[in-house]
Amino acid sequence: MWQLLYKGFTSYEGVYLLYLVPIIYFIIIVVGVLASKRRLHQRIGAKEVIAVLAIGFITLDFINYAYLFFTKTGVLLQPLHLLIKYIAGFFMWLWIFWYSYQHYFARLVAGEQFSKRRTGLIFMCVGSLVLAVVGILLS
């Protein structure tokens, strides 16, 4: 089973374009929440710091991948290292989703903008899938 997952993650390099839209989208959300907290003179706590670190690590990982991809200097990770990387990334994305829901998407927080924010989330998902398909076709 691990070999199948390893092959799936490494066969189509272009599928990593899928991450580009969500990374940008959630950076905008996290920065917007932080700016709102600063504007309202609210304390920036551990949750915000963890969210910034998580989106920062995700962004740095994508930049590193893009650099290795375009310079053709990258080497595939061993299956165990790839598994560890994807588990860590999964938990970082999970934190970002939870944080964004709590501070941006929740009906109580969004108020009148709830349907607009939900529509933006749907467009982000569709855009990510389109980029993934384009990436698969190009690779």
Mean pLDDT check: name the lowest of 24-28, 63-67, 87-91: 63-67
Decide if pLDDT at 1 tops 70.
no
Decide if pLDDT at 98 tops 90.
yes
Helices 114-138 & 20-39 angle (0-180, nearest 10): 150
| Alpha carbons 80 and 50: distance in angstroms, whole number | 25
pTM greater than the 0.85 cutoff: no
Is-contact 100 26, C-beta < 8 A?
yes
Return the pLDDT at 109. Answer: 85
Return the pLDDT at 65. Answer: 83
Whose CA is closest to 23, among 129, 96, 120? 96
Q: What angle do CA 83, 2, 139 make, to 5 degrees?
A: 80
| Mean pLDDT to the nearest integer, 4-8 | 63
- Tokens of residue 56, six digits: 């920062």
User: Within the chain, where are the H helices?
Assistant: 2-11, 20-39, 46-71, 79-100, 107-110, 114-138
Higher pLDDT, 19 or 8: 19
| Domain boundaries defined on the chain | 2-138
| Alpha carbons 123 and 17: distance in angstroms, whole number | 16
45-68, pLDDT tens digit by residue? 999 999 999 999 999 999 988 888
